Amino acid sequence: MKKIIYQKLRASYFNFYKEGSKVLYDKKAHVFKEQFKIDDYIKNYEAIGPFVYFISDYSRFNFTHVGGNTELLLGYKNEEIEGKGFGLTYKLVSLKDIVRLLRGASFFWKHFKSTPIDDRKYLRVNYTLTYKRKDGSTFEGFQQNRPVLFNEKGDPIYFLNIITDISDLKSKLTPHEHYILNVKNPLKVEKFQIKLEDSDIFDKIVSPAEFKVLDLIAEGLRTKEIAEKLFLSEHTINIHRKNLLQKLDCSSSSQLVKRAMMAGIL
């Protein structure tokens, strides 16, 4: 079994490296890096609960700009990750998941190349994984990834990655989601599933009216404010909220938002 996994890993890494190394050792990359400010992205990023953020530098194949609740979630200090190569991933996830990630990455690069240069900044690739901490313990995480710095040819130099702890969610939605989003039109986000499992559960069990309520919950509105915006009674909003909690096996509004983020509808 391990031999098969290593064979798949080798093939997957080759494809990933072939597509992801377009800016490797790009001599002009440092010019673009000097203008980059991570705070411009972190302050507007959606993460519910404890999270870790870092930049994947594809001009050096290493991690940089590490921050957030790194030691709490991963057990590592920022300086233990800062500057380390992508090989550190082997310590954070299982071999099977690495194969899955690399295959997903290969799929993403093909999609990325087929996207017009001006639209590439709107692409996102998200997935859920079981992460390993430094002490060997694990947690369920949701990782959001987006290109945030490009060279003059439109190839990505930096990807912003954010890992959010979703261990408080139960198993009604599969813990193995992997998909690409195009958020050019916020009102009609395009979603491309890399590995179709149960991600369409929202479409199957959540009504259009409940979707509207969920969207406003994600904006941080209170029951009274949601009722006023949708021209409904507070009683009706509470019923929708109760139904959402039951259908999605959640115990709080923050869990509902996490579920929606994982499914790519927020």
Domains of the chain and CATH, by start? 2-193 (3.30.450.20), 201-263 (1.10.10.10)
Cβ atoms of 55 and 64 within 8 Å: the answer is: yes
Q: Residue 60's beta-bridge partner residues?
A: none
123, two tokens: 């692409």
Cα–Cα dist 112/94, whole Å: 26
What's the longest Cα–Cα distance across the chain? Answer: 61
Cβ atoms of 130 and 175 within 8 Å: the answer is: yes
Cα–Cα dist 15/54, whole Å: 23
What mean pLDDT do residues 24-45 have? 78
Per-residue pLDDT tens digits for 118-170: 999 999 999 888 899 999 999 888 999 999 999 888 999 999 999 999 887 75
- Which residue, chain included where needed, has tokens 């969920």? 214
Determine the angle formed by the axes of helices 223-230 and 234-247, rounding to 10 degrees: 110
pLDDT for the residue numbered 1: 38
Residue 5 has pLDDT above 50, yes or no: no
Burial 155-194 (b: 16+ CB within 10 A, else e): bbbbbbbbbbbbeebeeebebebbbbbbeeeeeeeebeeb
115, two tokens: 């996207």
Per-residue pLDDT tens digits for 162-214: 999 988 775 544 557 789 999 999 888 999 888 544 445 566 678 889 988 98
- Which residue, chain included where needed, has tokens 């990630």? 101
Element housing 146 (H / E): strand 138-150
- Which residue, chain included where needed, has tokens 């979707």? 211
Amino acid at 220: G
Sign for the pseudo-dihedral over CA of 221, 72, 88, 42: positive
Q: Pick the more confident residue, 227 or 60.
A: 227
Per-residue pLDDT tens digits for 61-99: 899 999 999 999 999 999 999 999 988 988 998 776 777
